[in-house]
Structure 1
Amino acid sequence: MLSLIGFITILIIVALLLSGKLTPMIPLVLIPIIGAFAAGFGFGEIGGFFNDGIGDVINVVVMFIFAILYFGLMQDVGLFDPLITKMITWSKGNVVTVSVASVIIAAVAHLDGSGASTFLITIPALLPLYQRLRMNPYLLLLLVGGSASVMNMVPWAGPLGRTASVLKMDVTELWRPLIPVQIIGMVLMLVLAVFLGLRERKRIERKYGVVDAKAAVADILEGAKDETSEKHQLARPKMLWLNVILTIAVIGVLVWGIIPAGFAFMIGLCIALPLNYPKIKDQTARIRAHAPNALTMASIILAAGSFLGILSGTGMLDAIAENTVKIMPGFIGPYLHLVLGVLGMPFELLLSTDAYYFALLPVAEHIGSGFGIGSLSMAYSMIVGNIVGTFISPFSPALWMALGLANLEMGKHIRYSIFWLWGISLVLLVISTMIGVIHI
């Protein structure tokens, strides 16, 4: 009975998350409470489960809040603007180098872990260049989305934060073994950019002949100077190198692990605010500008903590795992994590990020443990297999915004991108197994 109630609880949560009619916080909080009541638990016991769940995710919440505020501030001061301009200049309108530059610009723009800001930076900056060079705009979305997805492995982005809350571990510790995978993923994206750039150049020459590349770049750079007055007021070009040094120091401390990730970003933010905006009203305005993004993610993680605390405390997850192990064919069990990793990309088309990490991962982790699969191997397999397709999912609000900015269609984007991105995810899955991140 406990297994059945747990399964129904998760099924209802997934259905509500997929419906898109409720913010994720609502089903993650309310449905497990109803399930716990149905299983015979009282308010006092449920409150204890809640406290346990929140205690497991609070460090992740603190890290998310201050990381989003910090990188939002760095975008305000114009930390990434010189690199974007340099990359466009460096490309000289060559289709291949423009493709490579797209990957690099997207990687830098996604340092804040926000898909929305990444597309807001890259699409308006690069789309006019693509149009002038007669390049396929779906190639831009593929390269930017794929690059941002690989960068989404950083601990202050969504997937690792969600996974850390499920596994009840420090998100920085979870990230460290993935750093080589992330680097290899970026190399693969650059190789893909070269290959698709060469293919695109042949298509353009065959269809349109030779395009005046230098004139196209000159027009784009000239247009980039016509920025809004608000952006000019927020930018701090004279403080560029101090902000660069500060950001490198914060990330260095984060990788070093000498202090908690949230504390590192908290310190960085408290230095960056008065450094760039000495007036208290400006400091307050910057916090208010980025607080909605920070609090939205924090509320989801806290709600997930409540959900996981209740499902674990009531024993529902254990019951689901035990009963699933009994009916699963024995030959599949030891390789369940690899099966889920291979199917990670298709799951991105069927499940939202919250449903994938908060509903599927906890059950898979419990089932896998019955076959001797380590929790980290299960988590890494599901992350690597799924994360490259983050911005191919129709459940990604940021992707819909990108499609709107570029005036493109979701169906055509999926058809254009899925083969290449799924291929990269499978290669990364194999490499992760070879270097020991995922164990067989």
Structure 2
Amino acid sequence: MTAPTIEDLLREFTPQVLGTLVRRHGQFEGCEDAVQEAVLAAAVQWPAEGVPNNPHGWLVTVASRRLIDQMRSDRARREREAATATEVIPEEVPDTDDTLVLLFLCCHPTLTAASQTALTLRAVGGLTTAEIARAFLVPEATMAARISRAKQRVKAAGRSFSLPDGAEREERLQVVLHVLYLIFNEGYTASSGSELHRTDLAQEAIRLARTVHAQLPEDGEVTGLLALMLLTHARREARTTSDGDLVPLDEQDRTRWDHELIDEGLGLVKASLAGPALRPYQLQAAIAATHADAATTGETNWPQVHALYLILERIAPNPMVTLNRAVALAETEGPAAGLALLATLDSDERIAGHHRLLSVQAHLLEKVGDTTGAYERYRRAAKSTASIAERRYLESRAGRVRT
């Protein structure tokens, strides 16, 4: 196994150090500035002087000194502290990882989902404001204002930097997992732009999910989310052609799937299903595992996929779950059965007119021989998506059924 690079170490330790400072001093923005200064100092000093024996302690010490410098007005005192800023005192730095607590703070219930996602990527993921803005295709100033408002809301809420207890902790954990799920989905299939993938976002979501799993290894839903991410991300290389065009699941070259990730994901699915209850991410992971188990599309256990979607639909009703169940139903009972189920979604304002519903309807209409209906829906779907890669694919399918 290769040794971690300085960049890897800084990415790993930055949220831990920020968590430690926020827990000690209780001010989010000032602590974040201090940590960024410490990271910058490390990026300059470590390549020249070597990585310290306790890099976490080094960063905490330097960041703490920087924060004290910000908080005190006595210039002479600041200069004396700056002179000892790089002294590492490991005994003063507890060997704890506050990343999970920091995630809970970033996913504070007073924040909108968009603000929770942005603050998580900034504070825990270590992405710059410019990087987050590019990922979500908004101006940097807009994203900076969103993150700043999120910090102010967290400060105004006055919550202590600690894990909540009991039912509140479980509720907040589900918010954390949902935010990581949203980040991963945006990375796996970008909602807009020319590229189908945002690999950096997907990998960051996986890294953060690994962090949560390391601290809550017995939580089946945490394990299920990590498994789902790994099994889904394993397909990334086969999802596009060399020209960047989308390749649907049933046409992918499965030899290009990352089987190391698949093996890890399958092991996690087995562990997640060993508990007494089944929850949404565990079921989605089990569905992904069923696809991963099949060497070819024809070998997919579609009855099992459909049964899992039925359970998921009962415990977490959602139009997108029904849409996916319709795909499985079409494979087990024929495209007409799938179309009948999809028809129940036409009046659901959450998904009516969505390009995914239109594209699945088009696919099944094509299978039953209704090329006119398929063409119309492929064209509508293409106009409804902001993803250029998906639009190209849908337009090509429309062209195919028309000829």
Regarding TM over 0.5, the answer is: no
Work out which structure has the larger RCO, using CA pairs closer than 8 Å and 6 or more positions apart in sequence. 1
Q: Which has the higher helix share?
A: 1
> TM-score, structure 2 length as denominator?
0.22
> TM-score, structure 1 length as denominator?
0.21
